[in-house]
């Protein structure tokens, strides 16, 4: 025990942890030896098939992506040792940001150490008192916290939440704002492109139409859509046949399909990005993305662009996996995304089932409260282009055993 720890705090914290343990809700971190891939080696367990990474395109250990990171390290060293506007921007950052903007078909982008940070930069910087952020109830936690922070940093930023993907409710909320004579600000409507716990897709054409009708900006966090949806992996907008510049602002991550290291970005108009550079607290007070990641993520986008057949392979694997999951008797939402949640209800049950799967050699994590609402715990199976038929066959066989146990 840390001898300086206050006994009251120690007792309270230990009480919560003991309770989590007693109710089967304590998470265990698995130690991975070696790189990420369709199969991975877990310490004290050996090789298992990995169905819980966001390594959707299998690029996390792609030789060109790894080499680009090493070359970035050789060229620039570990980092800038500075905040970007002071002395902290390498040419590698500029090149990555140009590549991201071109990939998405927008004017500009700016990178951060994570999408979480990007979200915490976007709302408090671009929203002003009197504006309103309108958000889907199932949006990712980084959006929720970005919205909360906007309200704290700029008193008078309003928030409204609409029922998940309910376009009638979106209309009602937007109409309510425009009918309110006291409301004269901007509206920022924000949605996940692919919802991270459900694996369903936001109806971007409908949201775009509503935003146009009521004069709102449309912001899409496409962390789980980028690299996954659309024929060339541009993301949820491509899935719907939309251009990137039909979305006012994107947030996204480099920590999933695009190399999987870490990092996030905001992408959109030059003016919005310049505002982030000038006024964003994470841009003014926090270091840049490490150059290893700036270089490996850029290479990941280049590899994807050079060979979109990876995306087609992912789509086919997703189809096979969903069919198999249903065939063994579990329910899974019909969707082209790589997130296949199997809802089981109780958190302890989800964790126990995922442990059973792990004992059989399939690594798929059970999610419960507070990651998802109480009573909706689930095992989230995630598919990658790197999975081969043999991995998918083993997944289905182990799910069948689980169902029958
Ligand atoms: C929709 C969504 N947005 C943002 C993030 C956070 O991304 P990062 O790890 O880059 O902070 C996640 C990660 O789980 C996510 O699912």
Using 50, 70 and 90 to split pLDDT, how confident is the model at 15? Answer: very high
Residue 334 pLDDT greater than 90, yes or no: no
Give the burial class of 390: count Cβ atoms within 10 A of its Cβ; 0-12 exposed, 13-18 middle, 19 or more buried.
exposed
Q: Is the C-beta atom of 114 inside 6 A of ligand 1? A: yes
Question: Is residue 271 domain-shared with residue 356, that is, in the same domain?
Answer: no
What is the band of 1 on the pLDDT scale with cuts at 50, 70, 90? low
Nearest residue CA, atom 14 of ligand 1? 196
Q: Is 280 in the pocket of ligand 1 (CB under 6 A)?
A: no
pLDDT (tens digit per residue) in 160-209: 999 999 999 999 999 999 999 999 999 999 999 999 999 999 999 999 99
Q: Choose the weakest-confidence range: 134-138, 167-171, 201-205, 350-354.
A: 350-354
From 287, 306, 325, the end of a domain falls on: 306
Does 321 lie in the same domain as 270?
no
Tell which of 306, 325, 346 closes a domain.
306
Q: Please identify, by atom number, the ligand 1 atom nearest to the C-alpha of residue 194.
A: 1
Task: Please state whether beta strands 216-221 and 187-192 pair in parallel, antiparallel, or not at all (unpaired).
Answer: parallel
Q: Does the beta carbon of 84 sit less than 6 angstroms from any atom of ligand 1?
A: no
pLDDT given at position 371: 85
Q: Tell me: the pLDDT tens digits for 375-400?
A: 989 999 999 999 999 999 999 999 99
pLDDT tens-digit map of 283-323 = 999 999 999 999 999 999 999 999 999 999 999 999 999 99
Question: In terms of pLDDT, which residue wins out, 367 or 263?
Answer: 263
- Residues labelled as active-site residues: 196, 224, 256
State how far the alpha carbon of 187 is from the alpha carbons of 129, 182, 206, 277, in Å. Answer: 11, 14, 16, 22
Ligand 1 pocket test target in 140, 201, 202 with most atoms within 8 Å of CB: 140
Do residue 204 and residue 157 come from a single domain?
yes
pLDDT of residue 273: 98
Q: Is 192 in the pocket of ligand 1 (CB under 6 A)?
A: yes
Residues 267 and 254 occupy one common structural domain = yes
Q: Retrieve residue 366's tokens.
A: 């059970």
Domain range enclosing 86: 63-306
Same domain, 300 and 326: no
Closest CA to 364 of 337, 336, 392: 392
């Amino acid at each position: 025990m840390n001898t300086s720890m206050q006994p009251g705090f120690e007792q309270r914290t230990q009480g919560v942890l003991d309770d989590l343990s007693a109710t089967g809700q304590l998470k265990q971190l698995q130690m991975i030896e070696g790189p990420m891939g369709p199969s991975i080696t877990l310490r004290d367990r050996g090789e298992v098939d990995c169905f819980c990474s966001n390594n959707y395109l299998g690029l996390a250990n792609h030789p060109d992506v790894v080499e680009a990171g090493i070359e970035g390290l050789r060229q620039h060293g570990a980092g800038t040792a500075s905040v970007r506007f002071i002395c902290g921007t390498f040419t590698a950052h500029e090149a990555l940001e140009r590549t991201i903007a071109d990939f998405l078909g927008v004017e500009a982008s700016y990178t951060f150490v994570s999408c979480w940070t990007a979200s915490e930069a976007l709302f408090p910087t671009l929203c002003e008192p009197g504006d309103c952020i309108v958000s889907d109830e199932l949006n990712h936690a980084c959006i929720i916290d970005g919205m909360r922070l906007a309200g704290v940093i700029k008193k008078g930023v309003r928030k409204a939440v609409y029922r998940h993907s309910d376009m009638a409710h979106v209309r009602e909320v937007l109409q309510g704002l425009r009918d309110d004579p006291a409301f004269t600000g901007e509206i920022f409507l924000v949605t996940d492109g692919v919802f991270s716990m459900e694996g369903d897709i936001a109806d971007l054409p409908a949201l775009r139409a509503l935003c146009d009708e009521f004069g709102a900006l449309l912001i899409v966090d496409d962390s789980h859509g980028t690299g996954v949806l659309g024929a060339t992996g541009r993301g949820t907008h491509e899935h719907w046949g939309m251009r990137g510049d039909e979305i006012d602002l994107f947030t996204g991550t480099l920590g999933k399909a695009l190399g999987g290291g870490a990092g996030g970005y905001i992408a959109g108009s030059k003016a919005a990005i310049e505002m982030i550079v000038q006024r964003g607290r994470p841009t003014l007070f926090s270091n840049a993305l490490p150059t290893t990641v700036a270089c490996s993520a850029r290479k990941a986008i280049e590899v994807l662009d050079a060979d979109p057949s990876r995306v087609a392979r992912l789509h086919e694997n997703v189809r096979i996996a969903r069919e198999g999951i249903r065939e063994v008797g579990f329910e899974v939402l019909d969707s082209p995304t790589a997130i296949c949640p199997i809802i089981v209800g109780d958190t302890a049950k989800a964790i126990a089932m995922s442990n059973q799967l792990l004992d059989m050699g399939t690594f798929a994590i059970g999610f419960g409260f507070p990651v998802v609402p109480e009573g909706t715990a689930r095992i989230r199976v995630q598919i990658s282009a790197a999975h081969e038929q043999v991995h998918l066959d083993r997944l289905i066989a182990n799910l069948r055993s689980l169902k029958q146990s």
